[in-house]
Structure 1
Amino acid sequence: MSSKIGLACIIDDDSMYVNLVKKIIEAKNLCQNLMVFKNGKDALSYFEVILNNLDKNSIPEIIFLDINMPIMDGWEFLDSFTKIKNKLGKAITLYIVSSSINPADIERAKNINTVKDYLIKPVTIDDLEAIFLSQTV
Structure 2
Amino acid sequence: MSTELPPKFETVMIIDDNVIDLYITSRMITQNNFAKNVLLYTAAEEAMQYLQDNEDNIPLLPQVIFVDIYMPLMSGFEFLDAYDKLSPSLKKYAKAYIISSTIDNEDIARSINNKNVVSFHVKPITKEFLDRII
CA distance in 2, matches of 1:71, 1:87: 27
Residues 1:70 and 2:83 are matched in the alignment? no
Instruction: Kindly report which structure 2 residues correspond to 1:12-51, keeping only aligned pairs within 5 A, or say none.
Output: 12-51=16-55
CA distance in 2, matches of 1:4, 1:97: 19
2:120 is aligned to 118
TM-score, length of structure 2 as denominator length = 0.89
Instruction: Kindly report which structure 2 residues correspond to 1:45-124, keeping only aligned pairs within 5 A, or say none.
Output: 45-51=49-55, 54-88=56-90, 90-124=92-126
Percent identity reads 32
CA distance in 1, matches of 2:13, 2:94: 10
Q: Any gaps of 5 or more consecutive residues in structure 2?
A: none
Q: Any gaps of 5 or more consecutive residues in structure 1?
A: none
CA RMSD of aligned residues (A): 1.5
Give the conservation status (yes or no) of the 8 Å contact 2:28–2:126.
Answer: no
Secondary structure of 1:17's aligned partner: helix
> After TM superposition, what 4+ stretches of structure 1 lie above 6 angstroms from structure 2?
none
TM-score, length of structure 1 as denominator length = 0.87
Paired positions, count: 130
Q: CA deviation at 1:130?
A: 2.5
Give the conservation status (yes or no) of the 8 Å contact 1:59–1:90.
Answer: no
| More helix, by proportion | 1
